Every structure is written in C-alpha cells, then in structure tokens.
Amino acid sequence: MGFVAQMVDGAIGMAYGISASTALLSMGVPPATASACVHAAETFTTAASGAAHWKLGNIDRKLLVRLVVPGMVGGALGAYALSSLPGEKLKPFIAIYLLLLGLFIVWKAVGQKEKREGVEPKAVAPLGLFGGFLDAVGGGGWGPLVTSSLLGQGTTPRYAIGTVNLAEFFVTLTISTTFFLTVGLDLWPIITGLILGGIIAAPFAAYATKHIPDKVLMIMVGTVVVLLSLRTLLNSLA
C-alpha cells in the first residue's frame, strides 16, 4: 500500500494521503487513527521523495521557500481545528474546484500548441496556507490543490511536482507533530509498513517525474485530479 501510494504521489505530486487513507478506512481503521497514521508515515516518505527530487534537479528553490512557511502554518491551524470544524462539509466545494482545475489542465496539455514553461506562479503564500489547512482538516489535499494550481498557472510540471513534494515534508511534519501532541499516534505496524513501502518507491517516482514528458505529466495530473474530485463528490452525495 505504501509503495503504490508513494509511486503515485512522487511521480505526479499528489494522492498519497487520499490513496493510503482510503485503503486504511476500507480495512476498518477508524478515520482519526487512519489520518494520524498516514501523516506520520508521510513524514518519512515525503523526506525520501523530496531528497530524491532534489538530487534529480526537480526543485525550484525560490518556489519552495514561498510554499513551506505558509503550508506549515496552515497545517498547524488545520490540525488544531480538526475537532471542531466540519471538514466533511468543505470537501464538496474543494472537489468542485479541483474538478474544474483538473479539466483545465488536461485541456491545456492536449490543446496547447506551443510549449510554455517557467511561468512565475502568483498567490503562492495563500495557496500554501490553504493547502496545508485543507490537508490537515480533510485528511489529504496538499498535492491535488497545490500541484494542480501551480500547473494551472503554467509552472513547469517537473518543478511543480518536485517542489510540492519536498515542501510537503515540512507541512506533514508540522501536522504529525500536532496530532502527536493532541490525539497521540497508534498502530505503529501500519505506520512502519507505509514508511517502508514509500521509501522504496520514492527514487523510482522521482526518476519518472524527471523523464516523463511534460505533456504526459500534465495529462496524468489532470486525470487524477478529475477522478479524485468526482470520487469525493459522489461520496458526499451518497
């Protein structure tokens, strides 16, 4: 489970938390415990993934600095608010946004005539703040929201994916620490399994990001965003 989730997340910049949490919930693990376990495991897997992306040159250092601090603040606030804020009610609205953004990314990748890279993203700090908050409150969402938004603005795909992966380490560390101080952590065999699988997958996923063409990456990201957002909407209406 950890290997597959990290291969997806490391290669296209999203869906580790959603993939792993969904699998754990289907196995009967309580939601709060599943979220805490996944974030604890992500602390290690995002470190491995971020290091691999750094080594392969998939990191935009300027963008990284602009994402990390707001993301950590948003993650801490979200973790503290989790017990009182109706996180489930927020998910349909985020899913609609992601659905539209995913469709836009696919359309842009398929219909774009000229290669357009290196566009300076705007509103990065608010994006990081909201992304960190959503990830803590909703049990996932840093990758889909932040990576998709950066790609939608024209950021070079491999830099967007690699930088978001490395920034996620700092955000996840903050969320995990908050969970540990408030609700504690349990089920260490699950956490250990997720960590081992994710660390093994990290370098392979980073290598895929570096060598897969940008157009293909954008189509993959857009497709995953659309599918995940549709799944969230369907679950909300069920």
Buried b / exposed e across 66-77, counting CB within 10 Å, b at 16+? bbbbbbbbbbbb
**Distance, CA of 193 to CA of 27 (rounded, Å):** 15
- pLDDT the model gives residue 82: 73
Sign of CA dihedral 123, 83, 171, 69: positive
Pairwise pLDDT comparison (62 vs 84), residue with the higher score: 62
- pLDDT the model gives residue 88: 63
Question: What are the pLDDT digits (tens) for 89-121?
Answer: 666 776 687 778 778 778 877 876 555 556 788
- pLDDT the model gives residue 116: 56
Query: Is residue 164 a contact partner of residue 143, using CB atoms and an 8 Å limit?
Result: yes
Question: What are the pLDDT digits (tens) for 179-217?
Answer: 888 777 667 888 899 889 988 988 888 888 788 787 787
Q: For the chain, what's the residue count?
A: 238
Pairwise pLDDT comparison (15 vs 51), residue with the higher score: 51
Give residue 178's pLDDT band: very low, low, confident or very high (50, 70, 90): confident
Query: Is residue 20 a contact partner of residue 169, using CB atoms and an 8 Å limit?
Result: no
The pLDDT > 90 percentage for the chain reads 21
- 146: closest CA among 66, 215, 79, 205? 66
- pLDDT the model gives residue 85: 65
- pLDDT the model gives residue 173: 93
Does the pLDDT of residue 218 top 90, yes or no? no
- pLDDT the model gives residue 164: 92
- pLDDT the model gives residue 59: 93
Sequence-ordered list of residues with C-beta below 8 angstroms from that of 234, at least 6 positions apart, any chain = none
Which of 1-5, 78-82, 101-105, 170-174 has maximum average pLDDT? 170-174
Q: Tell me the pLDDT of the chain averaged across its residues.
A: 82
Sequence-ordered list of residues with C-beta below 8 angstroms from that of 53, at least 6 positions apart, any chain = 10, 59, 161, 162, 163, 165, 166, 206, 209
DSSP structure class, residue 143: I
Pairwise pLDDT comparison (100 vs 50), residue with the higher score: 50
Give residue 21's pLDDT band: very low, low, confident or very high (50, 70, 90): confident
- pLDDT the model gives residue 219: 83
pTM of the predicted structure, to 2 decimals? 0.78
**Distance, CA of 123 to CA of 128 (rounded, Å):** 9
